Amino acid sequence: MEFEHTGPTEEFRIKTESNLKEWLKLPYTVTAHFAATRPATLERRPFAGIHPLYPSIGILNGMGTKGCSLAPYFANQLCRHPVYGEPITPEADVKRFTRVLSRS
């Protein structure tokens, strides 16, 4: 998906501050306003595992909006995989990208 721009807009800042003022009754100051593009896989699924070329590097990414609930589960799998040889859930294993990454 292409975006016209990736920076923060004044319109969004005004809307966000307006919503915040409705329920937050404490004084506050906006000190900065940032925006970013969040990368995602086409399938929108997390991935975990050992880097195929650098076995000392573990990969844990793609948690998305469910990150708070998914990250501990997959982090545990990522830790147990090299230590105890336990498998990583196939749907999350980085090995599922082998076919795509091996294309020349």
CB 7 within 8 Å of CB 35 = yes
pLDDT (tens digit per residue) in 11-45:
999 999 999 999 999 999 989 998 877 777 778 88
Q: Report if residue 79 sits inside a domain.
A: yes
Number of structural domains the chain divides into: 1
pLDDT (tens digit per residue) in 41-79:
778 889 999 998 899 999 999 888 888 899 999 999 999
Q: Report if residue 61 sits inside a domain.
A: yes
Q: Report if residue 55 sits inside a domain.
A: yes
Q: Report if residue 34 sits inside a domain.
A: no
Closest residue by Cα to residue 28 from 42, 39, 16, 17 = 17
Q: In whole angstroms, give the CA distance from residue 33 to residue 51.
A: 35
Q: Which domain holds residue 93?
A: 47-101
pTM of the model: 0.61
